[in-house]
Amino acid sequence: MPASLRRHRRTKIVATLGPSSSTPEMIARLFQTGADVFRLNFSHGTHEDHAARIAMIRALEDKIDRPIGILADVQGPKLRVGRFGGGRVQIQTGQGFRLDLNPTPGDVRRVNLPHPEIIEAAAIGSTLLLDDGKLRLRVVHKRPDALETEVVVGGALSDRKGVNVPDIVLPIPALTEKDRADLAFALAQGVQYVGLSFVQRPEDVAEARELTDGRAWILTKLEKPQALENLDAILALSDAVMVARGDLGVELPPEEVPLAQKRIVRAARLLGKPVVVATQMLESMIAAPAPTRAEASDVATAVFDGADAVMLSAETAAGQFPLEAVSIMDRIVARVERDEGWRATVEATRPVPEASAADAIAAAARQIAHTIGAQAIVAFTESGSTALRMARERAASPVIGLTPDIETARRLAVVWGVHAKVVATLHSMTDAVARAGRAAFSEGFAAHGEEIVVAAGVPFGQRGTTNALRVATVK
């Protein structure tokens, strides 16, 4: 394996593909520069577009012999106003404005709201946000077919702008008919993670779990205040989560978003479930070759919080400097992880091991590796659960996840500190120790004569049986 493809950081990078990054050459360069997982945004593009990108990623994977994770991010229910007679109006603070079911083009006094479920669920005093929160309305009167509102914050409003309802639980599923078709397509294409948008309730995640049937990890995007109210139950049903700060920042006051981020990361880490921090991380790099100081600090904060991964959206999908965005994110993450303060924070925030053999083995592996200065912890894992337990420990030694299942290896691409590799099925602990030593050497983690810690489950081939720990010398 080329030495440059061994990451010298633990926090992973997710890069979104789009018009700026959809050639085999660019995808290869993005991976070489530091992208660990590629995101496909199903809010844009056709199935043919996404199939072509997936084929490029898999061709690269075969060429470099490294597992690559793919995230299919489905759109979710998009709520929008209708159209205006002139395409655009200017509504003033303090005026009345009606949202109704009448499909007639709107004017400065009213517009169609083609979502009867909003009208039904709203109450006097409910807030509606338009155009990513730029305009704010308050419901002052309700009829069966309309909401009369007062404009709290006015401004320009044009055709088909989005509607957010931060204080209303809507009786709509997180998966639309489009999402179901996209989900079926993505699963048939063999993606590793399915991103669920606009989740409000645990039932939304349960529905997706039933549809995926274990074929991909459910990565729940937390972007609604209602989801935060049900955080523990949603996390319990999710395989991974994303702090989706775009819509979360629309529906929550700005001062609440950093606290929500920290709460979500902390809760996911406690459960040992991967958590991705996303949206506007290096937003200025859509049009500039370098980030602002505030953006660099934002990425560093996510790393200090303990995120498994940080994500680039438009920066790599549609920006002018996709490679530079991945490169600077890689540099920021690596620099933070060399800081003594970061390591002290990691040590201080480590969750207490759960009362299970797997957690006891993971905690012991970290402690032994620290005591003897092991070059790596090698975890044999069928389903990925052993590697996830090791990642939860946030060991100072890197973790090599060895698995006979290519899908497991790909899924581990988003997990903190885990370098995944596919190996043949094992039959004995002696074989495991020998294989671990060879992998640590060939992947550039340890030299001959250096020590590693090996964790495995005996008998081999059974999931959830991590019960053996060895210290070995690389030969």
Q: What is the DSSP string of 167-209?
A: T---S--S--HHHHHHHHHHHHHT-SEEEEPS--SHHHHHHHH
| Annotation says 109 is catalytic | no
| Annotation says 83 is catalytic | no
Contacts of residues 140-145 at CB distance under 8 Å and 24 or more positions apart, as own/partner, are 140/96, 144/119, 145/100, 145/101, 145/102, 145/119
Number of H helices, E strands in the chain: 17, 21
The full set of domain ranges for the chain reads 3-76+174-339, 88-164, 357-473
Which pTM value belongs to this model? Answer: 0.95
Distance between CA atoms of 469 and 475, rounded to whole angstroms? 18
Q: Of these residues, 39, 201, 269, 389, which one is catalytic?
A: 39
* Residue 356 · residue 434 · CB < 8 Å: no
| Annotation says 350 is catalytic | no
**C-alpha distance from residue 395 to each of 10, 79, 299, 363, 453 (Å):** 10, 44, 21, 9, 12
Sequence-ordered list of residues with C-beta below 8 angstroms from that of 293, at least 6 positions apart, any chain: none
Instruction: Please give the distance of CA 436 from its chain centroid, rounded to a whole number.
Output: 30
Q: Of these residues, 98, 221, 389, 392, which one is catalytic?
A: 221
| Annotation says 39 is catalytic | yes
Closest among 287, 352, 348, 353 to 314, alpha carbons compared: 287
Q: Of these residues, 29, 80, 178, 180, which one is catalytic?
A: 80
Domain 88-164 in CATH 3.40.50.360? The answer is no
Domain spanning 357-473, CATH architecture: 3-Layer(aba) Sandwich (3.40)
CATH class of 3-76+174-339: alpha beta
Q: Of these residues, 11, 212, 220, 279, which one is catalytic?
A: 279
Sequence-ordered list of residues with C-beta below 8 angstroms from that of 252, at least 6 positions apart, any chain: 166, 225, 260
pLDDT by residue, tens only, the chain of 475 residues? 454 478 999 999 999 999 999 999 999 999 999 999 999 999 999 999 999 999 999 999 999 999 999 999 999 999 999 999 999 999 999 999 999 999 999 999 999 999 999 999 999 999 999 999 999 999 999 999 999 999 999 999 999 999 999 999 999 999 999 999 999 999 999 999 999 999 999 999 999 999 999 999 999 999 999 999 999 999 999 999 999 999 999 999 999 999 999 999 999 999 999 999 999 999 999 999 999 999 999 999 999 999 999 999 999 999 999 999 999 999 999 999 999 999 999 999 999 999 998 899 999 999 999 999 999 999 999 999 999 999 999 999 999 999 999 999 999 999 999 999 999 988 889 999 999 999 999 999 999 999 999 999 877 777 767 888 999 999 9
